[in-house]
Amino acid sequence: MAEQKGGGASLPLLARAAMVVGAIGLVAAFFLPWGSADQEFRDAVALAPDVMFYEPTGMTVSDAQDISLFSYAQVYGSMGGTWQLYTYISYALLGASALTLLLAALGRPIGSTVLAVITLAGSRLLVWDFGDRGVLPSSTHGWGIAPTVYIVAFVALVAAAVWLFVLRRKEKALA
């Protein structure tokens, strides 16, 4: 891959780095707040932060102010039965995100885009399901930042992947 004149970084390297940043966003979204408590809940937590919110996982009300998909996966996993399906879906999102990051780091625009599509579809499935079941928004929690981060990271990754793909096609045409 040719370097740009003037000693600057190569455009393919920049596109690849942008893909990695988008993929990091997909991984990070799993650990960011999926649900965030309203101010009334936060005020109540300040009075008794160590009260148990969900005992099987040891989650206190303080821990439950901003709940990530990681935390939801632990809660659903502890419930057993068909609830564990949510654990599998959540961890599948993390796995697809991690594979997306790996492929982005290797400079594979098509593979990383395919896995990013799967990740976004899984996150949107969970958004629909949580909303349909009334998990979020609820009387104490609204949506956190994670669903939005999934969308923004997906768009960034796909834009960078298309950019890298086009740059490589132009490079082949010039060769």
Backbone phi, psi, residue 96, to 5°: -65, -40
Question: pLDDT, tens digit, for every residue of 95-154?
Answer: 999 999 999 999 999 999 999 999 999 999 999 999 999 999 999 999 999 999 999 999
> What's the predicted TM-score (pTM) here?
0.90
For residues 6-21, average pLDDT: 83
Residue 148 CA to its chain's centroid (Å): 9
* Cα 116 from Cα 114, distance rounded (Å): 5
* Cα 28 from Cα 175, distance rounded (Å): 39
87 confidence band (pLDDT: 50, 70, 90): very high
Predicted pLDDT of residue 7: 43
Predicted pLDDT of residue 9: 54
Predicted pLDDT of residue 175: 74
For residues 91-95, average pLDDT: 97
For residue 174, what is the enclosing H or E element?
helix 146-174
Say which residues have a Cβ less than 8 Å from residue 144's Cβ, sequence separation at least 6: 32, 33, 34, 35, 36, 66, 67, 68
Q: Which tokens go with 96?
A: 């697809």
Q: For residues 40-66, b (16+ Cβ closer than 10 Å) or e, as one string? A: ebeeebeeeeeeebbeebebbbebbbb
Predicted pLDDT of residue 142: 96
- HSE value, Cβ hemisphere, 13 Å, CA-based, for 70: 11
In this predicted structure, the answer to whether residue 92 has a pLDDT above a threshold of 70 is: yes
Q: Which tokens go with 130?
A: 């949580």
In this predicted structure, the answer to whether residue 8 has a pLDDT above a threshold of 50 is: no
